[in-house]
Amino acid sequence: MDPDLQKILQRQHYAIIGKHSGVKLCHWVKQSLLFGRQCYKQTFYGINSHRCLQMTPAITHCTQMCLFCWRFQNFTEKELHDIDEPEYILNHAIEAQKTLLTGFKGDPRCDQKKWREANEPNMLACSLSGEPTLYPRLGEFFELCHHKGITTFLVTNGTNPEAFEKLDTLPTQLFVSIVAPTKEIYKKLCAPLISNGWEKIQQTLALLPSLNTRIVIRHTLVHGWNMDEKHVDAYARLDAQASPLFIEPKGYVFVGSSRKRLHFSNMPRHDQIRDFGQKLAERLGYEQVMEKNDSLVVLLSSKSTNNK
Protein backbone atom coordinates (compact mmCIF):
# COMPACT_ATOMS: atom_id res chain seq x y z
CA MET A 1 0.00 0.00 0.00
CA ASP A 2 1.20 3.50 -0.76
CA PRO A 3 2.78 4.78 2.50
CA ASP A 4 1.17 8.22 2.17
CA LEU A 5 -2.26 6.63 1.84
CA GLN A 6 -1.57 4.34 4.77
CA LYS A 7 -0.77 7.37 6.96
CA ILE A 8 -4.02 9.06 5.90
CA LEU A 9 -6.09 5.96 6.67
CA GLN A 10 -4.41 5.40 10.03
CA ARG A 11 -5.10 9.02 10.99
CA GLN A 12 -8.74 8.22 10.21
CA HIS A 13 -8.53 5.27 12.66
CA TYR A 14 -8.39 2.47 10.10
CA ALA A 15 -6.38 -0.61 11.03
CA ILE A 16 -4.52 -1.78 7.93
CA ILE A 17 -4.48 -5.55 7.34
CA GLY A 18 -1.81 -6.93 5.04
CA LYS A 19 -1.56 -5.50 1.54
CA HIS A 20 -5.14 -4.46 0.76
CA SER A 21 -7.57 -4.95 3.67
CA GLY A 22 -8.73 -2.79 6.53
CA VAL A 23 -10.86 -2.62 9.68
CA LYS A 24 -12.53 0.32 11.37
CA LEU A 25 -14.82 0.41 14.38
CA CYS A 26 -18.33 1.26 13.30
CA HIS A 27 -19.95 4.30 14.90
CA TRP A 28 -22.69 2.02 16.17
CA VAL A 29 -20.30 -0.34 17.94
CA LYS A 30 -19.23 2.64 20.04
CA GLN A 31 -22.82 3.80 20.54
CA SER A 32 -23.88 0.34 21.67
CA LEU A 33 -21.01 -0.07 24.12
CA LEU A 34 -21.28 3.38 25.69
CA PHE A 35 -24.94 4.37 25.38
CA GLY A 36 -26.94 1.23 24.61
CA ARG A 37 -28.01 2.53 21.18
CA GLN A 38 -28.27 0.13 18.25
CA CYS A 39 -27.73 0.43 14.52
CA TYR A 40 -30.49 0.02 11.99
CA LYS A 41 -29.16 -3.42 10.99
CA GLN A 42 -29.95 -4.66 14.49
CA THR A 43 -33.43 -3.15 14.29
CA PHE A 44 -34.11 -4.50 10.79
CA TYR A 45 -32.17 -7.77 10.64
CA GLY A 46 -31.49 -8.87 14.21
CA ILE A 47 -27.69 -8.65 14.34
CA ASN A 48 -25.90 -7.38 17.48
CA SER A 49 -24.39 -3.94 16.85
CA HIS A 50 -21.60 -4.37 19.39
CA ARG A 51 -20.46 -7.69 17.90
CA CYS A 52 -20.16 -6.43 14.34
CA LEU A 53 -16.78 -6.38 12.61
CA GLN A 54 -16.70 -3.72 9.88
CA MET A 55 -14.01 -4.47 7.31
CA THR A 56 -13.02 -4.61 3.66
CA PRO A 57 -10.66 -6.80 1.64
CA ALA A 58 -10.25 -4.00 -0.94
CA ILE A 59 -9.61 -0.82 0.99
CA THR A 60 -8.22 1.27 -1.90
CA HIS A 61 -9.78 -0.58 -4.82
CA CYS A 62 -13.07 0.37 -6.46
CA THR A 63 -14.76 0.71 -9.83
CA GLN A 64 -16.45 4.00 -8.98
CA MET A 65 -15.62 7.33 -7.33
CA CYS A 66 -19.09 8.18 -6.05
CA LEU A 67 -19.62 11.79 -5.06
CA PHE A 68 -21.45 10.76 -1.87
CA CYS A 69 -18.71 8.37 -0.66
CA TRP A 70 -17.10 9.39 2.64
CA ARG A 71 -13.82 7.76 1.62
CA PHE A 72 -10.59 9.52 0.64
CA GLN A 73 -10.46 8.61 -3.07
CA ASN A 74 -7.21 9.95 -4.46
CA PHE A 75 -5.51 6.55 -4.49
CA THR A 76 -8.31 4.44 -5.97
CA GLU A 77 -7.21 1.39 -7.99
CA LYS A 78 -9.43 -0.86 -10.11
CA GLU A 79 -7.73 -4.25 -9.74
CA LEU A 80 -6.14 -6.38 -7.04
CA HIS A 81 -2.98 -8.23 -7.99
CA ASP A 82 -0.78 -9.40 -5.11
CA ILE A 83 -3.43 -10.75 -2.74
CA ASP A 84 -3.42 -12.01 0.85
CA GLU A 85 -4.80 -15.37 1.99
CA PRO A 86 -8.43 -15.35 3.24
CA GLU A 87 -7.44 -16.91 6.57
CA TYR A 88 -4.76 -14.27 7.10
CA ILE A 89 -7.25 -11.46 6.43
CA LEU A 90 -9.94 -12.85 8.75
CA ASN A 91 -7.64 -13.69 11.66
CA HIS A 92 -5.87 -10.35 11.54
CA ALA A 93 -9.15 -8.47 11.11
CA ILE A 94 -10.47 -10.02 14.35
CA GLU A 95 -7.23 -9.15 16.16
CA ALA A 96 -7.37 -5.60 14.80
CA GLN A 97 -10.94 -5.25 16.08
CA LYS A 98 -9.80 -6.33 19.55
CA THR A 99 -7.02 -3.75 19.50
CA LEU A 100 -9.40 -0.98 18.45
CA LEU A 101 -11.75 -1.96 21.29
CA THR A 102 -9.07 -1.93 23.99
CA GLY A 103 -9.56 1.62 25.23
CA PHE A 104 -13.30 1.24 25.74
CA LYS A 105 -12.87 -1.19 28.64
CA GLY A 106 -11.70 1.57 30.98
CA ASP A 107 -14.53 3.97 30.12
CA PRO A 108 -17.01 4.03 33.01
CA ARG A 109 -19.87 4.32 30.51
CA CYS A 110 -18.91 1.04 28.81
CA ASP A 111 -21.10 -2.03 29.29
CA GLN A 112 -18.50 -4.59 30.34
CA LYS A 113 -20.56 -7.61 29.27
CA LYS A 114 -21.00 -6.12 25.82
CA TRP A 115 -17.30 -5.27 25.68
CA ARG A 116 -16.34 -8.88 26.30
CA GLU A 117 -18.81 -10.02 23.63
CA ALA A 118 -17.51 -7.39 21.19
CA ASN A 119 -14.09 -9.04 21.38
CA GLU A 120 -15.67 -12.14 19.86
CA PRO A 121 -17.46 -10.76 16.77
CA ASN A 122 -20.25 -12.92 15.34
CA MET A 123 -21.18 -10.56 12.51
CA LEU A 124 -18.97 -9.28 9.67
CA ALA A 125 -19.95 -6.32 7.50
CA CYS A 126 -17.86 -6.57 4.33
CA SER A 127 -18.57 -3.01 3.31
CA LEU A 128 -16.19 -0.53 4.87
CA SER A 129 -14.47 0.88 1.79
CA GLY A 130 -13.82 0.08 -1.86
CA GLU A 131 -15.55 -2.70 -3.81
CA PRO A 132 -15.14 -5.99 -1.88
CA THR A 133 -15.97 -8.23 -4.85
CA LEU A 134 -12.66 -7.23 -6.46
CA TYR A 135 -11.00 -9.58 -3.95
CA PRO A 136 -10.93 -12.82 -5.98
CA ARG A 137 -11.08 -15.23 -3.01
CA LEU A 138 -14.17 -13.75 -1.41
CA GLY A 139 -16.09 -17.06 -1.41
CA GLU A 140 -13.31 -18.76 0.56
CA PHE A 141 -13.30 -15.84 2.96
CA PHE A 142 -17.04 -16.16 3.62
CA GLU A 143 -16.69 -19.90 4.08
CA LEU A 144 -14.10 -19.30 6.82
CA CYS A 145 -16.39 -16.75 8.48
CA HIS A 146 -19.35 -19.13 8.48
CA HIS A 147 -17.16 -21.95 9.85
CA LYS A 148 -16.37 -19.67 12.80
CA GLY A 149 -20.08 -18.93 13.33
CA ILE A 150 -19.81 -15.41 11.90
CA THR A 151 -22.75 -14.04 9.90
CA THR A 152 -21.67 -12.16 6.76
CA PHE A 153 -23.22 -9.09 5.14
CA LEU A 154 -21.71 -8.00 1.82
CA VAL A 155 -22.29 -4.55 0.30
CA THR A 156 -21.46 -4.17 -3.39
CA ASN A 157 -21.96 -1.53 -6.07
CA GLY A 158 -23.00 -4.27 -8.52
CA THR A 159 -20.39 -3.56 -11.18
CA ASN A 160 -18.73 -6.99 -10.92
CA PRO A 161 -21.40 -9.58 -11.80
CA GLU A 162 -18.71 -12.14 -12.68
CA ALA A 163 -17.80 -12.32 -9.00
CA PHE A 164 -21.30 -13.56 -8.07
CA GLU A 165 -21.20 -16.19 -10.79
CA LYS A 166 -17.99 -17.55 -9.26
CA LEU A 167 -18.85 -17.30 -5.56
CA ASP A 168 -19.05 -20.84 -4.20
CA THR A 169 -20.01 -19.54 -0.75
CA LEU A 170 -22.44 -16.63 -0.73
CA PRO A 171 -22.75 -14.11 2.11
CA THR A 172 -25.59 -14.48 4.58
CA GLN A 173 -27.08 -11.29 3.18
CA LEU A 174 -26.18 -9.42 0.01
CA PHE A 175 -26.75 -5.67 -0.33
CA VAL A 176 -26.54 -4.18 -3.82
CA SER A 177 -26.33 -0.39 -3.95
CA ILE A 178 -28.39 1.01 -6.80
CA VAL A 179 -27.93 4.75 -6.44
CA ALA A 180 -28.91 6.03 -9.87
CA PRO A 181 -32.25 5.60 -11.67
CA THR A 182 -30.74 6.31 -15.10
CA LYS A 183 -27.45 5.90 -16.93
CA GLU A 184 -27.02 9.68 -17.19
CA ILE A 185 -27.33 10.21 -13.44
CA TYR A 186 -25.12 7.18 -12.83
CA LYS A 187 -22.26 8.67 -14.83
CA LYS A 188 -22.45 11.97 -12.96
CA LEU A 189 -23.14 10.76 -9.43
CA CYS A 190 -21.10 7.55 -9.36
CA ALA A 191 -18.22 8.70 -11.59
CA PRO A 192 -17.43 5.16 -12.84
CA LEU A 193 -13.81 4.21 -13.49
CA ILE A 194 -14.89 1.53 -15.96
CA SER A 195 -16.58 2.22 -19.28
CA ASN A 196 -19.44 -0.28 -18.91
CA GLY A 197 -20.40 0.14 -15.26
CA TRP A 198 -24.10 0.75 -15.94
CA GLU A 199 -24.33 -2.32 -18.17
CA LYS A 200 -22.56 -4.43 -15.53
CA ILE A 201 -25.11 -3.31 -12.94
CA GLN A 202 -27.94 -4.44 -15.23
CA GLN A 203 -26.26 -7.86 -15.48
CA THR A 204 -26.05 -8.06 -11.70
CA LEU A 205 -29.72 -7.18 -11.27
CA ALA A 206 -30.70 -9.93 -13.72
CA LEU A 207 -28.50 -12.41 -11.85
CA LEU A 208 -29.76 -11.70 -8.33
CA PRO A 209 -32.96 -13.82 -8.40
CA SER A 210 -30.83 -16.92 -9.00
CA LEU A 211 -28.66 -16.42 -5.90
CA ASN A 212 -29.62 -18.50 -2.88
CA THR A 213 -29.22 -15.84 -0.21
CA ARG A 214 -31.14 -12.87 1.19
CA ILE A 215 -31.03 -9.97 -1.27
CA VAL A 216 -31.36 -6.31 -0.31
CA ILE A 217 -31.38 -3.44 -2.79
CA ARG A 218 -30.13 -0.21 -1.23
CA HIS A 219 -30.92 3.18 -2.74
CA THR A 220 -28.61 5.87 -1.36
CA LEU A 221 -30.73 8.98 -1.79
CA VAL A 222 -29.01 12.30 -2.46
CA HIS A 223 -31.31 15.31 -2.40
CA GLY A 224 -31.24 17.22 -5.66
CA TRP A 225 -29.68 14.30 -7.51
CA ASN A 226 -31.55 11.00 -7.53
CA MET A 227 -34.74 11.08 -5.45
CA ASP A 228 -37.26 13.21 -7.28
CA GLU A 229 -40.72 11.71 -7.74
CA LYS A 230 -39.99 11.32 -11.46
CA HIS A 231 -37.22 8.85 -10.52
CA VAL A 232 -39.48 6.48 -8.57
CA ASP A 233 -40.74 4.58 -11.62
CA ALA A 234 -37.19 4.10 -12.93
CA TYR A 235 -36.05 2.65 -9.61
CA ALA A 236 -39.10 0.40 -9.54
CA ARG A 237 -38.19 -1.04 -12.95
CA LEU A 238 -34.63 -1.75 -11.76
CA ASP A 239 -35.81 -3.30 -8.50
CA ALA A 240 -38.35 -5.49 -10.27
CA GLN A 241 -35.51 -7.19 -12.17
CA ALA A 242 -33.81 -8.18 -8.92
CA SER A 243 -36.97 -9.20 -7.04
CA PRO A 244 -35.23 -8.56 -3.67
CA LEU A 245 -36.59 -9.62 -0.29
CA PHE A 246 -35.94 -6.11 1.02
CA ILE A 247 -35.32 -2.60 -0.27
CA GLU A 248 -33.60 0.11 1.76
CA PRO A 249 -34.17 3.72 0.73
CA LYS A 250 -31.36 5.32 2.76
CA GLY A 251 -30.32 8.94 2.96
CA TYR A 252 -26.89 10.30 2.07
CA VAL A 253 -25.08 11.64 5.14
CA PHE A 254 -22.85 14.71 4.91
CA VAL A 255 -19.68 13.21 6.40
CA GLY A 256 -16.04 12.47 5.54
CA SER A 257 -14.55 13.39 2.19
CA SER A 258 -18.00 13.67 0.60
CA ARG A 259 -18.14 17.15 2.15
CA LYS A 260 -15.63 18.26 -0.49
CA ARG A 261 -17.91 17.11 -3.30
CA LEU A 262 -21.46 17.72 -2.07
CA HIS A 263 -23.29 20.16 0.18
CA PHE A 264 -25.19 19.78 3.44
CA SER A 265 -28.38 20.54 1.49
CA ASN A 266 -27.86 17.25 -0.41
CA MET A 267 -28.63 15.30 2.78
CA PRO A 268 -32.37 14.48 2.73
CA ARG A 269 -34.68 14.68 5.73
CA HIS A 270 -36.12 11.48 7.12
CA ASP A 271 -39.65 12.43 6.14
CA GLN A 272 -38.49 12.82 2.53
CA ILE A 273 -36.97 9.33 2.62
CA ARG A 274 -40.14 7.89 4.14
CA ASP A 275 -42.24 9.56 1.43
CA PHE A 276 -39.93 8.24 -1.32
CA GLY A 277 -40.03 4.76 0.20
CA GLN A 278 -43.81 4.73 0.38
CA LYS A 279 -44.15 5.71 -3.28
CA LEU A 280 -41.64 3.06 -4.33
CA ALA A 281 -43.41 0.43 -2.22
CA GLU A 282 -46.73 1.24 -3.90
CA ARG A 283 -45.17 0.85 -7.37
CA LEU A 284 -43.72 -2.57 -6.50
CA GLY A 285 -46.42 -4.02 -4.27
CA TYR A 286 -44.08 -3.92 -1.26
CA GLU A 287 -44.82 -2.66 2.24
CA GLN A 288 -42.89 -0.14 4.32
CA VAL A 289 -42.37 -2.19 7.47
CA MET A 290 -39.68 -0.43 9.54
CA GLU A 291 -37.76 2.82 9.80
CA LYS A 292 -34.89 4.31 11.79
CA ASN A 293 -34.84 8.06 11.92
CA ASP A 294 -31.28 8.50 13.22
CA SER A 295 -29.94 6.39 10.34
CA LEU A 296 -32.11 8.06 7.67
CA VAL A 297 -33.42 4.73 6.44
CA VAL A 298 -36.69 2.88 5.89
CA LEU A 299 -37.22 -0.80 5.09
CA LEU A 300 -39.49 -2.08 2.37
CA SER A 301 -40.45 -5.76 2.34
CA SER A 302 -42.22 -7.78 -0.30
CA LYS A 303 -45.71 -8.82 0.77
CA SER A 304 -44.92 -12.41 -0.11
CA THR A 305 -42.02 -12.30 2.38
CA ASN A 306 -44.31 -10.95 5.10
CA ASN A 307 -46.73 -13.82 4.52
CA LYS A 308 -44.09 -16.53 4.96
- pLDDT digits 0-9 by tens, 245-292: 999 999 999 998 899 999 999 999 999 999 999 999 999 999 999 999
pLDDT bucket at 305, cuts 50 / 70 / 90: low
Residue 79 and residue 264 in contact, taking contact as beta carbons nearer than 8 Å: no
Domain of residue 165 covers: 3-306
* Residue partners of 61: CB distance under 8 A and separation at least 6: 20, 76, 77, 78, 79, 80, 130, 131, 134
Average pLDDT for the chain: 94
199 C-beta neighbours (distance < 10 Å), count: 12
Residue 267 confidence (pLDDT): 97
- CATH number assigned to the domain comprising residue 251: 3.20.20.70
pLDDT tens per residue, range 3-13? 888 888 888 88
Length of the chain counted residue by residue: 308
What is the chain's Cα-based Rg?
Answer: 19
State the Cα–Cα distance between residues 125 and 56, nearest whole angstrom: 8
Residue 270 confidence (pLDDT): 97
3-state secondary structure of 53: strand
pLDDT tens per residue, range 125-156? 999 889 999 999 999 999 999 999 999 999 99
Percent of the chain residues past pLDDT 70, beyond the cut: 97
pLDDT tens per residue, range 106-122? 999 999 999 999 999 99
**Number of structural domains found in the chain:** 1
State the Cα–Cα distance between residues 277 and 288, nearest whole angstrom: 7
Residue 307 has pLDDT above 80, yes or no: no
Residue 80 confidence (pLDDT): 86
DSSP 8-state class, residue 259: G
